[in-house]
Amino acid sequence: MSNYDYVIVGAGSAGCVLAARLSEDRNTKVLLIEAGGKDRSPKIKIPAAFAQQFQTKLDWNYETEPEPGCNDRRLYIPRGKSLGGSSSMNAMLYVRGCAADYDGWAADGCEGWSWEEVLPYFNRSEHREGETNGNRGTGGTLNVADPVSPRPLTDLMIEAARANDFPLDPDYNDGQPDGVCRVQTTTKNGRRWSAADAFLRPALKRPNLTVLTKATVLGLEFTGERVTGVRYSKGRRATTAIATASREVILSAGAIGSPQLLLLSGVGPADQLQRLGIEPRIDLQGVGENLQDHPYVVGIWESVVGDSLLDAQKPRAMLDFLLNREGPLTSTVAEGFLWTRADREATAPDLQCHLAPAYFSDNGFEESDEHAYTMGPVLIAPKSRGRLWLRSADPAAKPAMLGNHLTEQADVDAIVHGVKLSRELAATEPLASATGREIYPGAAVQTDEEIIADARERVQLLYHPVGTCKMGTGDDAVVDSGLRVRGVRGLRVIDASVMPTITRGNTNAPTYMIAEKGAEMVREAA
């Protein structure tokens, strides 16, 4: 048995921040446990290669149950399985979301989580390269950079949007994203800059921080109503051990792993747990509920001028990357954003169109040998809500998930709007002159009914599961505003699972913010 002050489960985006911040106090002993291994793969370091990690040993490789709104298709959800977690696998797009997201959290009972109150925690992490305004950080360890070598096709897409009267947004991370822009990325010198790079690696030299990799947490240890540690297995023989925490155990295993561990440990809906032979400890009905993600449907067009990421397959591209840290391999694939509203009465954007100078279909598994570009409208304020539940009491069994994507009419209407908008951009100069055949949805898809049918057949997720350990004050809340699990002492959840509603945009930056704020709460309680 090993004794620590804090035990953190999961070395992903949140866990790396927590390990770094809590170990700053040299009088505390911190243990960080990660089921995956080291983050040494070149596929992690090369930005454009992120999809090559999918369905490998670096991926938890989840999928939903058959989705009723998506022709009963199972939708793929990759999750990073190495140091850095999904920040070692994602597309490196730094997006804070809208001020309205966080003001909405605060209005719904999450005291202390308004935009003005969370902004300092975004800034604490960040080092924004180049010119900044008063809402951006410059002294943090998380590097945020502009694209190193954007493709000319990206500029054509941006100019087409501007020709359609969309404004150029000088900084979409100011809380009010509006219009078209290039992306901002968590890269440094042309390479991925993950949570492990930004937070964990600088802290590894501290003698009070221990990191265990390839160690799987099996469940929580209790003494009465207090969580006192975790039970985990490690090694080829899966030897079981216990790590105790004199102060707190913190779950940072993400919106899939954290609720799974709570349920396995008897914290969740009592009736569900009893059916699986798990003794209920705390009857928390909200554990696993409120699952949300960002669905999207891509439009793909042939590029008659080339200039796409197909060039990344050439030997010259690898030389440019290795010698100069530039060229197409530094790309995050999506190189531009267009923020807009399908619902004209919406107070904030509900669509985020990703502009990619590449052929990107079926999560990158479907390849093409022709130059192409992709525009993917994303539902960033989806109405649908899903749930996660255990299949069995076996910790090795993947949980079941159902997102109910495209079962709400408002979401279907927004997708139709996004597809039509993408087509308008493709037909607008200067992009029109670079555009050849429409590959997806294709010329045969024209009416609203045909667009909807195509969307149900091709919709995918943007890999942003959140919400399954909801923060709030209602009966469905799992954690309070201090991220403490209700009805339990010595236990917090600090990761994307605590989001009451999904943020309008990619969720990695908000996860860093949650971890920064959570770390401060933990230290103040010590």
Judged on CB neighbours under 10 Å (0-12, 13-18, 19+), 464 is buried
Least confident of 97-111, 202-216, 225-239, 318-332: 225-239
pLDDT at residue number 132:
73
What pLDDT score was predicted for residue 130?
87
pLDDT, the chain, mean: 97
Helix H or strand E segment including 440: strand 435-440
Average pLDDT over residues 266-277: 97
Q: At what angle do helices 409-426 and 152-163 cross, to 10 degrees?
A: 110
Q: In 79-133, where does DSSP find H-type helix?
A: 99-107, 115-125
List of E strands, 366-423 = 372-379, 386-389, 400-402
Q: Count Cβ neighbours within 10 Å for each residue of 111-144 and write b for 16 or more, e otherwise.
A: eebbbebbbebbbbbbbbeeebeebbbeebbbbb
Instruction: Choose, from 127, 371, 417, 464, the residue flagged as catalytic.
Output: 464
pLDDT band at 131 (very low <50, low <70, confident <90, very high): confident
Q: What is the mean pLDDT of residues 101-130?
A: 97
pLDDT reported for residue 239: 87
Between the alpha carbon of residue 121 and those of residues 92, 513, 514, the distances in Å are: 19, 5, 8
pLDDT digits (tens, 9 = 90+) for 299-342: 999 999 999 999 998 999 999 999 999 999 999 999 999 999 99
Stated as kind and residue range, the H or E segment containing 7 is strand 2-9
Residues of the chain with pLDDT > 90, as a percent, come to 96
Confidence at residue 504, expressed as pLDDT on a 0 to 100 scale:
98
Q: Contact at 8 Å (CB) between 123 and 526?
A: no
Residues 254-263 pLDDT 10s: 999 999 999 9
467 half-sphere exposure, CB direction, 13 A CA radius? 22
pLDDT, one tens digit per residue, over 22-59 is 999 999 999 999 999 999 999 999 999 999 999 999 99
Does the structure show a pLDDT above 80 at 9? yes
Indicate whether 16 pLDDT > 90: yes
pLDDT at position 366 over 90:
yes
* H/E segment holding residue 223: strand 215-223
Q: What is the pTM of this model?
A: 0.97
User: What is d(CA 392, CA 180) in angstroms, rounded to the nearest whole number?
Assistant: 46
**Residue-level pLDDT at 472:** 97
Res 291: pLDDT: 98
What region, left, alpha or beta, does residue 108 occupy, with left being phi > 0 and alpha being psi -120 to 50 degrees? Answer: alpha
Give the pLDDT confidence score for residue 1 in this predicted structure.
67
User: DSSP secondary-structure letter at 305?
Assistant: T
Please report the domains of the chain, with CATH numbers, ordered by start residue. Answer: 1-143+186-293+385-401+464-526 (3.50.50.60), 148-182+295-381+407-458 (3.30.410.40)
Tell me the per-residue pLDDT of 470-518, one tens digit each, with 9 for 90 and over. Answer: 999 999 999 999 999 999 999 999 999 999 999 999 999 999 999 999 9
Active site residue 371: no
The number of angstroms, rounded, from the C-alpha of 271 to the middle of its chain's C-alpha atoms is 31
